[in-house]
Structure 1
Amino acid sequence: HLGHIRNNLLGYSVAQILRAVGHNVIKVNLVNDRGIHICKSMLAWKRYGGGETPASSGMKGDHLVGKYYVEFDRHYKAQVKELTASGMSEEEAKKRAPLMLEAQEMLRRWEARDPEVYGLWEMMNGWVYDGFDVTYKALGVDFDKVYYESQTYLLGKSLVEEGLAKGVFYRRPDNSVWIDLTGDGLDEKLLLRGDGTSVYMTQDLGTAYRRFEDNRLDDMIYVVGNEQNYHFQVLKLVLKKLGYAEWSDHITHLSYGMVELPEGKMKSREGTVVDADDLIAAMVQTAREMSAELGKLDGCTEEEADAVSAMVGLGALKYFILKVDPRKTMLFDPRESIDFNGNTGPFIQYTHARIRSVLRKAAEAGIGLEGDGDGAAADYLPEEIALVKSLTEYPAVVKAAGDSFAPSIIGAYVYELAKTFNGYYHDHSILREENPAVRRMRLRLAGQVARVIRSGMRLLGIDVPERM
């Protein structure tokens, strides 16, 4: 959904920026493919699905599995309501609802590698992976490695056993395993349930250990929403107490704010989310309609119009999300993001296309960029000097963005550069300038502005069109 889009775009852009400043970066996806939430979808499909598949329903696999996650919640809430009506407390009803007990039993069977449960899990996870791949491709996001929690939770369990042996953790009478962090100003944290099944923290211990061991990393940056701030504080502290301070201190949580819509907050289990695929399709369609209205697709072939609409729609979405400081909660307004005026992706893309058009016309008219000097610096207009200064700042801007993991710094810079150029272009002619040396200088300057816009936007994962 839309919140995950911010996660993917932010992680991808930070990786691009860190590579640009000279780091060797491994882009990693962690697939949360096990746990009680997965069992909820599986149980609901088994109970209410009637054998429905992506092929029979025409739905993307991840959409189909998500549908049954919502379906579980609907039936579960009805059961809780029934139990509370019979006099049970709400807290007790949530624990004793038959569906929840059955989902918990399914998780135990999964961890025991029950063939029936495991087979169902493999089939439904396969549907989800196929669906995710389509969405990642549409977003222009890729990964160098993929880790699956189903492959790391056992390692996490062995680390818990190690912690018990060292006296770092303790076992309660119900057989659950905990760590007491009250002395560190935190609370007590569950690491294994009484029935032996693992929790998020268990598998995150295993995943962190596996990544550092596999890759000998200097640093690891988790791009995860701010509702997990406490979780990562605990993760680092637990690893330190287990004796892994050498690398646990090199874990950074790039905590980002939630994405909200004008209508309010989204909730996966209630199905009140904006689906990523639907949003991408709507953005591309809106980009096409607005571009056509403004005459920006005039003279384009159908194929070119499709390509430009996809580029502008995705550019609008990516820029609107990445221009905001990652730590801030943001409000996403699709229509506002696609405006061709103001601080938007399409405005910057159009500026690039406009410059490329000027350079093409110069080439067609036989106006070369090579020649004698561009004139004395004293002859430069203040606006030209401002543009040249702005261009020289670009490497420092990229470094600052890398140091603070903030693509928004690049977004702000590229927007200001595009805005400054547009003001200059509005007031001063380039192709009609009569002095050949000044005309050459202005064409070269425009070319450099286009080059830096293209470079900056690529660091945000955004393509810019040659014509529009």
Structure 2
Amino acid sequence: MTKTLPQILQAGVQRALTELYGVDGSSEEITLQTTRREFAGEYTVVTFPLTRLARKKPDEIAEDLGQYLKANLAEVADFNVIKGFLNLVISDAYWSDFLLTAAIQEDYGQSPARDETVVVEFSSPNTNKPLHLGHVRNILLGWSASQLLAKAGYNVKRVQIINDRGIAICKSMLAWQRYSDGATPESTGQKPDHFVGDYYVLFEQKFQEEYQQWQATEVAQQVLAQHAKAEQTPAEFFKGFSKKYFNDYSELGQAAKQMLLDWEAGETETVALWRKMNAWVYAGFEETYARLGVTFDKLYYESETYVLGKDMVELGLEKGAFLAREDGSIYADLTDAKLSEKTLMRADGTSIYITQDLGTARLRYDDFGAKRMIYVVADEQNHHFATLFELLKRLEEPYAAGLFHLSYGMVDLPTGRMKSREGTVVDADDLMNEVIHEATIASQERDATSELSTEEQKAIIRQIGMAALKFHIIKVGPQKRMTFDPKESVDMQGQTGPYVQNAYVRTRAVWRKAGELDLSAAADYRDLAPAERELINQLYAFPALVRDAAEALDPSVVAMYCYELAKSLHKFWHDHSILSAESPAAVAFRLQLCKAVGNTLSAGMNLLGIEVPERM
């Protein structure tokens, strides 16, 4: 395996310590970091930790090491010392050879295959509504994380669990049954998941109407008198009483709960309606996923997995990992892990949500043999996953040590939080339509693709719009809560997807203009300009950056890398000639440099699920 430049430099410093001072320096004592931009050089040796070994001042050690490395390592062309920091200038020959042999390769940055499977769960929507902005962030994070892991050599399996049962689904079903007059997505011309989602919103509207009318009844006034606190107004009391009203008083609530009981009992008409409406939603989901460029290796359905996990709970009880209460319910005491007690099975023998998660984890291990599983779920579920992982650890599941919750901050709108029941969400499809519309306007202003066919222009505009959307979301670190401003997301300047795409387009344009040229002279180009060195240095960092981002499961690192690389390319493009450079060697080398930068930008954006067009 070829040594990396940091490994070469570190080994050189170790040899220097032995030959200059007669001491052995361990790798832990040699600190190597990238050189700050205001100083000449690419790598910096921090000499302060070496004073104990060399028994000299930091500046003296830095001068000694610099002289030794310059004389003994072909990779080091020069050095400078700044207050005990040794800045190493890497030779033009090294950067040139690296570009023409490694960075130019189509698969540059791809790590060798590992014999390890990783399951990544993301999206996991409910079938009572279409995918919305919150899902978009989840999907983009999940897809990018899986792409990063694959680039790092892992065998990745992308899965989702579709939440296709429960009271929320029954609300949509009941509203359609009562108020649709037999309407269908086909008869209304609506996208099918939007059609179903409208009935979920309609149920809430009808429920609120019923609730308002009930509040004026004698029964409601009796409830108010019995249960309201002295300082509460009637409006404040009834606002907090709606859940109790739904469960105990509401006719709509009783009907929805009865529908859920009928579904669980397998009642024929209820199951048929459930299948029909879910089929509508699945068709809508698939259309949205296709627009987002997302696929899955396997789908799991809650209707099929909600009974799983009971055997695992019984096993835990037998092993003493779980405990039984007097009423027959089963629980785990997790207080020693700084978690609370967790009920795992009710007294009547029915399971709860976390019981299903236990069974689903085991099922995925059986399906894929994966000892590493990543759950992409918003940070509202942090406690749930901490509990789940602790339970699996106590069950001594073989994959328990490889579980990870990729927790991310929620997405707000400038007007506040989104609420599906009230219809105040930004649907994923509407969002995509909006950014593509903005990209259309921007394209018309530039008129840069007028020679292409209408279909080709539409394809490019779609790519630009989707890049604006995806990059705007992915560039924010996962743990940060974000406010999504649709207008800001489609800005075509600055830290945006289209800005990076434009850099790639420039690399392709210069190659088209160059035509068929003999590029062999590139090997003779050895006197690099600072901008060329900077670009190649950035290219050199790509493989390690991808591996680090994969381990951290943070695609925002790649997004910002692509932006910085694009910015350097734009500056190089502005300051230096390519096809009219001073010599055939310079022309050939700069064409190869453009190709390598283009390949890396394309690879980096692909890790984010973003396409790069040939023209824009």
* TM-score, with structure 1 as normaliser: 0.93
Partner of 2:387: 234
Listed as ranges, the matches of 1:55-454 within 5 Å are: 55-85=186-216, 86-87=220-221, 88=223, 89=227, 90=241, 92-96=244-248, 97-163=250-316, 168-170=322-324, 178-192=331-345, 198-241=351-394, 243-363=395-515, 366-371=516-521, 373-376=523-526, 379-454=527-602
Contact conserved, 1:149 with 1:207, CA < 8 A, in 2?
no
Residues 77-86 or 228-237, more deviating:
77-86
Distance in 2 between the 1:156 and 1:110 partners? Answer: 21
Deviations 1:249-296 (A, max 9, x none): 321110111122222211111111001111112211211111221233
Distance in 2 between the 1:13 and 1:169 partners? Answer: 40
Partner of 1:45: 176
Distance in 2 between the 1:108 and 1:5 partners? Answer: 32
Distance in 2 between the 1:15 and 1:240 partners? Answer: 24
Residues 328-337 or 129-138, more deviating:
328-337
**For 2:308, what is the secondary structure of its paired residue?**
helix
Pairwise CA distance, 1:180:
4.5
Partner of 1:13: 144
Pairwise CA distance, 1:94:
3.8
Distance 1:169 1:50, change over 3 A: farther
Residues 446-455 or 161-170, more deviating:
161-170
Residues 226-235 or 157-166, more deviating:
157-166
Larger RCO (CA under 8 A, 6+ residues apart): 1
Distance in 1 between the 2:440 and 2:350 partners? Answer: 50
Distance in 2 between the 1:293 and 1:285 partners? Answer: 13
| Alignment partner of 1:457 is 2:605 | yes
**For 1:429, what is the secondary structure of its paired residue?**
coil
Distance in 2 between the 1:172 and 1:61 partners? Answer: 48
**For 1:342, what is the secondary structure of its paired residue?**
coil
Contact conserved, 2:372 with 2:403, CA < 8 A, in 1?
yes
Pairwise CA distance, 1:197:
5.6
Distance in 1 between the 2:420 and 2:587 partners? Answer: 57
Pairwise CA distance, 1:431:
1.5
Pairwise CA distance, 1:193:
5.7
Runs ≥4 in structure 1, deviation > 6 angstroms? none
Pairwise CA distance, 1:373:
3.1
Structure 1 stretches lacking a partner, 5+ long? none
Contact conserved, 1:362 with 1:368, CA < 8 A, in 2?
no
Contact conserved, 1:95 with 1:101, CA < 8 A, in 2?
yes
Distance in 1 between the 2:606 and 2:168 partners? Answer: 36
Pairwise CA distance, 1:367:
3.6
Distance in 2 between the 1:372 and 1:137 partners? Answer: 42
Contact conserved, 1:400 with 1:409, CA < 8 A, in 2?
no
Contact conserved, 2:439 with 2:490, CA < 8 A, in 1?
yes
Distance 1:351 1:373, change over 3 A: same
Distance in 2 between the 1:176 and 1:299 partners? Answer: 71
Pairwise CA distance, 1:117:
1.5
Partner of 2:69: none
Letter in 2 for 1:119: A
Partner of 2:45: none
Deviations 1:189-220 (A, max 9, x none): 34456776644223222211211122211200
Letter in 1 for 2:588: R
Pairwise CA distance, 1:454:
0.6
Distance in 2 between the 1:349 and 1:9 partners? Answer: 18
**For 1:155, what is the secondary structure of its paired residue?**
coil
Partner of 2:238: none
Deviations 1:170-192 (A, max 9, x none): 4575x766544445433343445
Distance in 2 between the 1:118 and 1:192 partners? Answer: 26
Deviations 1:5-40 (A, max 9, x none): 111111111111101111011011211111121112
Pairwise CA distance, 1:437:
1.1
Deviations 1:407-429 (A, max 9, x none): 11111111100001101111111
**For 1:47, what is the secondary structure of its paired residue?**
helix
Aligned length: 462
Letter in 2 for 1:29: Q
Distance 1:249 1:321, change over 3 A: same
**For 2:398, what is the secondary structure of its paired residue?**
helix
Distance in 2 between the 1:326 and 1:444 partners? Answer: 35
Distance 1:218 1:245, change over 3 A: closer
Partner of 2:34: none
Letter in 2 for 1:212: Y
Letter in 2 for 1:220: M
Q: Which structure: greater helix fraction?
A: 1
Distance 1:141 1:447, change over 3 A: same
**For 1:371, what is the secondary structure of its paired residue?**
helix
* TM-score, with structure 2 as normaliser: 0.71
Pairwise CA distance, 1:236:
1.6
Structure 2 stretches lacking a partner, 5+ long? 1-131, 228-240
Distance in 2 between the 1:103 and 1:149 partners? Answer: 19
Structure whose CA Rg is larger: 2
Deviations 1:120-153 (A, max 9, x none): 1111111111110111011100011111111111
Residues 70-79 or 384-393, more deviating:
70-79
Distance 1:209 1:41, change over 3 A: same
Percent identity between matched residues is: 48
Pairwise CA distance, 1:165:
6.0
Residues 385-394 or 297-306, more deviating:
297-306
